[in-house]
Amino acid sequence: MRQPPYDQLYIYEVLGDARPWVAEAGPAYLGLWLEDRTSFIFFASPADELVAGWLAAAGLVLRQRHHMTYEQWQGGLEMEPIILEGLAVLPAWSDQAPPDDRPHLRLDPGLVFGNGLHPTTRHCLELLVALARRRPLGAVLDLGCGTGILALAAARLGGSPVTAVDLNPLCVTTTRANAELNRLELAVIEGSAPELAGRPADTLLANIHWEVQAAVLARPENLRGKRDLILSGLMRSQRGPLEDLVTARGYQIIQRREAAGTWFTLWARSKDTAPRPGGGPGGGR
């Protein structure tokens, strides 16, 4: 397997929104991660003079300059193929062919966290495959799409139309690039999950922080028409409150996943369409 097309990263941590200044950043520019009004600007080679010019012109403040390898930025995890019973996710730079004729994706996580190795991502993919085997996914809404892995998987498994949402501009750019790489049609929107959660969909995917999920579920209108929910990103103390919210909104837990007693994922279905006891996949604590 070949290596990812990233090696050394030069990261400029800037206080303020630097997006207006990166439009013509040159070939060494890799992307911008915006979080809490702080811009993390990535280059493949040093760009001290360029960034200094932006700071002077825009009145922005450089907090820190970081230099690390791509592997360090991704937490020391090298992306590996994910082979599930009904889906394969392969690195974009891999020569490996998918086993048999199962549906597959090529993924380039770029500078976004989300190479598929975290157990919450894998569990979401497993539940998405299980759901797709039981009924058509219909319209799909992915909140907090990151690299786009769940939205892409939903589209590959027949979901249509598929809408991916993320507040971070780098996630939006990365998801669009991965959609193009896989020749899949997605609508990718930059915006807040609670504000966009009410968009029409049959299936809702959300592998996001508990606080954001709580904000989404706090508005009953956000779930109108959504038959299936696949929710993840939860830790032990958050599982109970989320399940209480979901069941209070008229959903039944169909399946659960957990990893090392720490990370939790669930699939819930509206009680109007949930299988009768003994007639479908079981949950159980």
Say if residue 95 is in the same domain as residue 233: yes
> Is pLDDT at 264 greater than 90 in this prediction?
yes
Residue that terminates a domain, selected from 46, 73, 100: 73
What are the tens digits of pLDDT across the range 211-247?
999 999 999 999 999 999 999 988 888 989 999 999 9
Which DSSP string corresponds to the chain? Answer: -PPPS--EEEEEEEES--GGG-TT--TTEEEEEEETTEEEEEESS--HHHHHHHHHHHT-EEEEEEEEEHHHHTTTPPP--EEETTEEEEETT--PPPSTT--EEEE--TTSS--S-SHHHHHHHHHHHHHHHHS---SEEEES-TTSHHHHHHHHTT--SEEEEESSHHHHHHHHHHHHHTT---EEEES-HHHHTTS--SEEEEE--HHHHHHHHTSGGGGTT--EEEEEEEEHHHHHHHHHHHHHTTEEEEEEEEETTTEEEEEEEETTTPPPTTSS-----
- Classify residue 277: in a domain, yes or no: no
Task: Report pTM.
Answer: 0.83
* Domain housing 22: 8-73
pLDDT of 73 reads: 79
Residue that terminates a domain, selected from 47, 73, 99: 73
Say if residue 97 is in the same domain as residue 60: no
Lowest mean pLDDT among 17-26, 118-127, 144-153: 17-26
- Classify residue 222: in a domain, yes or no: yes
pLDDT of 113 reads: 67
Residue 5 — pLDDT band, cuts 50, 70, 90?
Answer: low
Q: Over pLDDT 90: what percentage of the chain?
A: 61
Residues 267, 131: Cα–Cα separation, whole Å = 9
> Is pLDDT at 271 greater than 80 in this prediction?
yes
Say if residue 115 is in the same domain as residue 187: yes
> Is pLDDT at 75 greater than 80 in this prediction?
no
Residues 209, 108: Cα–Cα separation, whole Å = 23
What are the tens digits of pLDDT across the range 76-105?
566 788 999 999 999 888 888 888 888 999
Q: Of the segments 50-64, 148-162, 235-249, which one has the largest average pLDDT value?
A: 148-162
Angle at alpha carbon of residue 174, lines to 17 and 224, rounded to 5°: 90
Say if residue 107 is in the same domain as residue 215: yes
Count the neighbouring beta carbons within 10 Å of the beta carbon of residue 187.
Answer: 14
Q: Is 155 exposed, middle or buried (0-12, 13-18, 19+ CB in 10 A)?
A: buried
> Is pLDDT at 74 greater than 80 in this prediction?
no
Lowest mean pLDDT among 184-188, 215-219, 255-259, 273-277: 273-277
> Is pLDDT at 2 greater than 70 in this prediction?
no
pLDDT of 280 reads: 40
pLDDT of 285 reads: 25
- Classify residue 39: in a domain, yes or no: yes
- Give whole-number Cα distances, 129 to 77, 90, 231, in Å: 25, 16, 14
pLDDT of 257 reads: 93
> Is pLDDT at 276 greater than 50 in this prediction?
no
Q: Which is higher by pLDDT, 249 or 24?
A: 249
Say if residue 92 is in the same domain as residue 186: yes
- Classify residue 278: in a domain, yes or no: no
**Average pLDDT for 261-265:** 89
Tokens found for residue 210? 């508990």
pLDDT of 266 reads: 95
Output the domain CATH number for residue 52: 3.30.70.100
- Classify residue 281: in a domain, yes or no: no
Say if residue 130 is in the same domain as residue 260: yes
Q: How many structural domains does the chain have? A: 2
